Amino acid sequence: MPTAPLEAKTVVDVDPWLQANAGQIVHRHDLFRKWKDSLEEHEGGFAEFTQGYKKFGFIVKPDNSVVYREWAPNAKEAVLIGEFNSWNRISDPMVKDDFGVWSITVPPTSDGKCAIPHDSKVKISMITHSGERIERIPAWITRVTQDLSVSPVYEARFWNPPEAEVYKFKNKKPPPPKSARIYEAHVGISTSEYRVGTYKEFTSNMLPRIRDLGYNVIQLMAVMEHAYYASFGYQVTSFFAASSRYGTPEELKELIDTAHGMGITVLLDIVHSHACKNVLDGLNHFDGTDHHYFHEGAKGRHELWDSRLFNYGHHEVLRFLMSNLRFWVEEYQFDGFRFDGVTSMMYKHHGIGTGFSGDYNEYFGDNVDLDAVIYLMLANEAMHELFPGCITIAEDVSGMPLLCTPVNKGGIGFDYRLSMAIPDMWIKLLKHKRDDEWDIGNIVHTLTNRRYGEKSIAYAESHDQALVGDKTIAFWLMDKEMYTHMSDLSEYTPVIARGIALHKMIRLIVHSLGGEGYLNFEGNEFGHPEVREYLYTIYDLLLKDPKWLDFPREGNGNSFHYARRQWNVVDDKLLRYRYLNEWDKAINHLEDKYGWLAAPPAWVSLKNEADKVIVFERASLLFIFNFHPTNSFTDYRVGVQEPGEYQIVLSSDEKRFGGFDNIDINSRFHTTAMEWNGRNNWAQVYVPSRTCIVLAKI
């Protein structure tokens, strides 16, 4: 890992390998500056430009008149239609300005009430230059609903609840966490019942769980409305609408406000990398053209995702996307964003069929989509400037340099990047290597291989590993025995003993060594079995229909059987899943006390291939891992920098974590002043096979 000189002032000082591309870095920043200057000159800067949602869509005025505006330059006629005017295509024509923006003002009724009833259906009807009449859901609509008994197509709703029904936020936003412990969650699957979960249920049932586990950030998936539930929220149709599957906009606000009251930060999984190709209830061909919000032709289509790609170089597209970010922060009080598909955005090849070797030529030059990179710079700069403390996380597999460097220093401006190589490493080990073949040096390298000064979110597994076609770590470790030998009334089998031990070790080493933040997908903390139903008696567990997390779709008969979380297995005091849950809780609460995620990167003093032992220090704690499948070590000498007396503050071998209590947690360890493994002192510890301990100075 490179060490930056104290006098470093530029990104090239920190990373001299960037020198060859310094001109392109400057060019990117010049393009960003040109856009920002233009917005300041013509739009009132970020402050005004990002408030497009207060100009476009439906705006209710104090006198209860309604102004509706829509950008549709290809239309030659436009009419607002809906239940309020009996879908009359003549009575409410719209007027077009020089910029292709259509508008209409619907006056209040004679008694001063809003003429468009709350929650009534609306559409925009247009005639294109070819003479075709098309009808679309308004692009800036904030509420759409779906009646599957009638049609899978969404219908736009005019959302204007009475004042008494508008949710009033009660709690202040918590300050940005110094250590980000992220719980990635999906509202719909957060129930154990055979249906879609709700915002209210998540508020009542999930928030207390997440708080008690010690997570201080929630990353909500699949909130932006999407027509296809099985897309996991990644085929967005209405960008300003909170998914109606889970409840109302007011109920989502209550969820976020309640989380804030618990001191929990809430992030939105934002999808600006692409859009659903749906026409009737999406943005595709909105005004009858192929190039409205998107690039035209093949450039505007993602061949693997079967979706549309935004034209980030267009003024109105930037207004739409940047206003979308501000909308979620201001209207719903989200605290930031996890940007999906950043790799796809930043490269013209979208990462398709491309391996990233780390050669800097891969990150600069003709392969880079400069329009998309500049959009990300503008988006990050605007959110951080307008909302100090706003958190942005990039999902990028390429390793783009400067992704998490501030824009004013030549970077793209994200706060964190996801360490996507880490879960891949564990899957490869568990799938292809015996335990005695694990490369300890490679494990440490993968966990510590991150750019100096750019923060990373480490994770052993996310939602990706829970989906059909993949496996969670628990399933890789224990497979079918998870369904037959996870009761405390049965003896430990070698498979279950190994699985529980390694599940704990993997999560702690990722948490403590892998980054400046940590992420877990809901249910994985207790090794959620990849089955959605248990039939068990007090003496045994019987397996029924093992499957992965699988959303209702045509291929499974539109069943919810596999699209839910079985909280009963962790709440059952007879089942061993609770041990993993308690371990997860202990890790988070220990991190909260010592703050290793906010501390400088760990100092690794030992990577012993023969012993399979890893030792490192971070935040004044000494972490010791013995991954050896059979060998335990008595009086094992480990280096430590600070002299003194140490005690165990966490041991994976405790009974409460499903261990065997072979380690005396009341033991004290005294250092000897002698250099060992590059540290000034050493101590001797007992580390049984497949255990880890954490020591703190008394």
Q: What pLDDT does 60 receive?
A: 98
* Closest alpha carbon to 115 in 148, 145, 91: 91
**Structural contact between residues 243 and 224, judged by C-beta atoms closer than 8 angstroms:** yes
Looking at every residue in the chain, the average pLDDT score rounds to 94
What percentage of the chain carries pLDDT values higher than 90? 89
Residue 390, pLDDT > 90, answer yes
> How confident is the model over 382-401, as a mean pLDDT?
97
pLDDT of residue 540: 34
Span 431-435, mean pLDDT?
96
Q: Report H helices in 126-285.
A: 199-201, 207-213, 249-261
pLDDT digits (tens, 9 = 90+) for 209-260: 999 999 999 999 999 999 989 888 999 999 999 999 999 999 999 999 999 9
Q: How many C-alpha atoms does 539 have within 13 Å on its Cβ side?
A: 0
Q: Checking phi first, is residue 558 left (phi over 0); if not, alpha (psi -120 to 50) or beta?
A: left
Gap between the Cα atoms of 572 and 594, Å rounded: 31
Q: HSE on the CB side for 186, CA within 13 Å?
A: 26
CA–CA distances in Å: residue 110 to residues 64, 92, 537, 541, 669: 11, 17, 68, 68, 83
Strand partners, 621: 618, 696
Say what the pTM is: 0.95
Give the C-alpha separation, 576 to 251, whole Å. Answer: 35
Kindly report, residue by residue over 351-373, the tens digit of the pLDDT.
998 889 889 999 998 999 999 99
**163-169: long-range contacts at Cβ-Cβ below 8 A with a sequence spacing of 24 or more?**
165/250, 166/250, 167/250, 167/251, 167/253, 167/254, 167/257, 169/253, 169/257, 169/333
Beta bridge partners of 254: none
Count CA within 13 A, CB hemisphere, residue 263.
10
Best CA proximity match to 216, nearest among 529, 607, 598: 598
Gyration radius of the chain over CA positions? 27
User: Which run of H or of E encompasses 469?
Assistant: none
395 is catalytic: yes
Domains of the chain: 53-165 (2.60.40.10), 178-222+235-268 (3.30.750.90), 597-697 (2.60.40.1180)
The catalytically annotated residue of 395, 396, 522, 617 is 395
Whole-number pLDDT of residue 416: 98
How far apart CA 21 and CA 19 sit, in angstroms, is 5
Say what the pLDDT of residue 538 is: 31
Please say if 371 is a catalytic residue: no
Residue 563 to residue 532: CA distance in whole angstroms: 8
What's the confidence (pLDDT) of residue 240? Answer: 98
**335 close to 389: Cβ distance less than 8 angstroms:** yes
Q: Is the pLDDT reported for residue 375 higher than 50?
A: yes
Q: Which of 70, 251, 340, 522 is catalytic?
A: 340
Whole-angstrom Cα distance, residue 156 to residue 244?
A: 11
How much is the average pLDDT of 535-548?
37
**Inter-residue contact 654 to 661 (CB < 8 Å):** yes
Dump pLDDT digits (tens) for 443-492.
999 999 999 999 999 999 988 876 655 789 999 999 989 989 999 999 99
Burial of 188 (0-12, 13-18, 19+ CB in 10 A): buried
